[in-house]
């Protein structure tokens, strides 16, 4: 290994993201090191103290410099980055700023100090014998834990019967992430409005409607910059994503408003030396936007999209910030005009078969230029046993496409689905349909 290479430790380094990490500018001057596995970080009920201890063992055993510690996953990775950074002298945003994003209730309290673009919200008392919606929050609404992996335990409800069913499910499952998150809250000096709230809290928010949009940006040297806006398109009649598409097709005035609101909330939260992604709804009938949630990291789901269109994965900005470098990079330098991440989903229980091996996926990718495929379940796996799924569907494959226009991307997606040739048995159609919640 060259002495000039920067040693970059990546929490939860996975096979799917390694190619895009190695595609960032100046990647030949970096040495990427895995720091804890996805299984250690996300499966079961994690212990932050145990994860810190295991990470220290790896870092202390390293013979050489530790130039950066980075990650592109939610809790616990998002909180481990500043915690380890403080101990090992690597750059990151503060732990408090991360938790202000991750804790959905605290995040709303911060947002309402500087913007008006958020829904009515409040807490639901999970310990009550007869939980009720918060005052001022009307049906339809979403119930969700203060913290969860992906969209686990997030339920859309339209009446009291659905409300009670969702509360029971959240009450039963909230501790898996809530208990470990409480140990992080204990490290912070909480403001009066967060006294006694804790991490095992359920949030109710009025449902937002319109087009879903994602904003990516970074905070560097006290300045907040938005570098990309993406459209998120759902499956018809479903809250589940069909694809994320870059760049956004929204009017310039709407995109400017998204920039302005994003910059205000990130400054309020106090992020610096970090990337972020913020999800919104845009209502084309009224022109209004409404903030859904703030993530204290960029989206690894979008790495290929930025590479296809701009010529560099968004991981580049994360690495630059961690090394104290200006993360600004040009746009529109990639080989395609538009790009998308597609979600091939199954909306019923089943067992998947004929899953292609990596070399077979490679053959499909070579036959269809401008695509990359990651299959989620393993051969013969029951879909309900796949971790990190939302409440309404099972992710079967992630398919990344780059093309000259939307029609070209859709054609490539259809070709990939046909080429995969997956089959399912023991299927229970509609087993995760929203109407069954």
Domain of residue 335, CATH code: 3.30.470.20
Last residue of a domain, one of 206, 227, 246: 206
Q: Among 93, 112, 131, which residue terminates a domain?
A: 93
Residues 252 and 333 in one domain: yes
User: Are residues 235 and 376 both part of a single domain?
Assistant: yes
In a domain, 107, yes or no: no
Are 219 and 74 members of one domain?
Answer: no
Answer yes or no: do 307 and 322 share one domain.
yes
User: How far is Cα 390 from Cα 382, in angstroms, rounded to an integer?
Assistant: 15
Domain presence at residue 106: no
The CA distances from residue 171 to 47, 135, 244, in Å, are: 20, 20, 31
Interacting residues of 338 by C-beta distance below 8 A, sequence separation 6+: 245, 246, 247, 309, 402, 403, 404, 405, 406, 409
The percent of the chain in helix, strand and coil, each rounded to the nearest 5, is 35, 25, 40
Task: Please tell me the total count of domains within the chain.
Answer: 3
Q: Do 218 and 169 belong to one domain?
A: no
Q: Are residues 258 and 190 in the same domain?
A: no
Q: Which run of H or E residues covers position 258?
A: helix 252-269
Domain identity same for 192 and 297: no
Mean pLDDT of successive 10-residue stretches along the chain, which has 437 residues = 82 94 97 96 90 99 98 97 99 99 98 98 95 98 88 92 97 93 97 95 96 98 97 91 96 98 99 98 97 97 97 98 96 98 92 94 98 94 82 90 98 98 74 41
**Residue 236 and residue 282 in one domain:** yes
Q: Is residue 175 part of a domain?
A: yes
Provide the pLDDT for residue 387: 76
Domain containing 22: what range? 6-93
Is there a domain that residue 127 lies in? Answer: yes
101 in a domain, yes or no? no
Bridge partners, residue 219, by sequence: 224, 274
**If we measure between CA atoms, which residue out of 71, 127, 66, 86 comes closest to residue 295?**
71
Domain shared by 295 and 400, yes or no: yes
Please report whether residue 407 resides in a domain. yes
My answer on whether 151 and 294 are in the same domain is no
pLDDT of residue 152: 82
Q: Measure the CA–CA gap between 259 and 281, rounded to whole angstroms.
A: 14
Among 93, 128, 160, identify where a domain stops. Answer: 93
Same domain flag for 239 and 324: yes
Is residue 99 a part of any domain in this protein?
no
DSSP for 8-32, written as a single string:
EEEET--TTTHHHHTTSTTGGGEEE
21-30 long-range contacts, CB within 8 A, separation 24+: 21/313, 21/315, 21/319, 23/307, 23/312, 23/313, 24/312, 24/313, 24/315, 24/316, 24/319, 25/312, 25/316, 25/329, 29/2, 29/4, 29/5, 30/5, 30/6, 30/319
Domain identity same for 298 and 255: yes
Does 238 reside within a domain?
yes
């Amino acid at each position: 290994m060259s002495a000039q290479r920067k040693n970059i430790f990546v929490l939860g380094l996975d096979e799917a993201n390694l190619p895009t990490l190695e595609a960032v500018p100046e990647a030949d001057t970096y040495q990427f090191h895995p720091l804890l596995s996805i299984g250690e970080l996300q499966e079961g009920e994690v212990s932050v103290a145990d994860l810190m201890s295991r990470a220290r063992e790896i870092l202390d055993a390293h013979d050489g410099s530790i130039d950066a510690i980075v990650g592109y996953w939610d809790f616990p990775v998002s909180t481990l980055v500043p915690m380890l950074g403080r101990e090992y002298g690597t750059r990151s945003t503060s732990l408090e700023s991360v938790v202000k994003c991750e804790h959905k209730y605290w995040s709303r309290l911060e947002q309402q100090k500087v913007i008006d673009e958020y829904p009515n919200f409040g807490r639901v008392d999970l310990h009550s014998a007869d939980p009720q919606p918060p005052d001022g929050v009307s049906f339809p609404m979403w119930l969700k834990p203060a913290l969860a992996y992906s969209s686990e335990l997030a339920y859309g409800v339209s009446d009291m019967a659905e409300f009670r069913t969702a509360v029971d499910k959240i009450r039963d499952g909230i501790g898996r992430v809530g208990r470990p998150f409480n140990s992080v809250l204990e490290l912070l000096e909480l403001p009066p409005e967060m006294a006694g709230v804790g991490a095992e809290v359920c949030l109710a928010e009025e449902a937002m409607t319109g087009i879903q949009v994602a904003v990516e940006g970074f905070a560097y040297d006290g300045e907040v910059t938005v570098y990309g806006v993406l459209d998120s398109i759902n499956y018809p009649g479903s809250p589940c994503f069909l694809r994320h598409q870059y760049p956004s097709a929204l009017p310039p005035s709407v995109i400017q408003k998204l920039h302005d609101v994003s910059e205000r909330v990130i400054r309020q939260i106090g992020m610096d030396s970090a990337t972020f992604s913020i999800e919104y709804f845009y209502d084309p009938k009224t022109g209004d936007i409404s903030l859904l949630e703030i993530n204290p990291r960029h989206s690894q789901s979008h790495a290929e999209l930025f590479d296809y269109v701009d010529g560099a994965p968004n991981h580049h900005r994360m690495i630059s910030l961690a090394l104290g470098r200006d993360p600004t990079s040009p746009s529109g330098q990639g080989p395609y005009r538009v790009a998308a991440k597609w979600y091939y989903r199954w909306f019923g229980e089943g067992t998947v078969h004929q899953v292609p091996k990596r070399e077979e996926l490679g053959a499909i990718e070579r036959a269809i230029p401008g695509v990359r495929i990651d299959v989620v379940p393993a051969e013969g796996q029951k879909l309900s046993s796949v971790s990190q799924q939302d409440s309404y569907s099972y992710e079967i494959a992630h398919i990344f496409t780059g093309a000259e226009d939307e029609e070209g991307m859709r054609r490539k997606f259809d070709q990939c689905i046909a080429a995969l040739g997956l089959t399912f048995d023991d299927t229970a159609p509609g087993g995760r349909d929203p109407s069954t919640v």
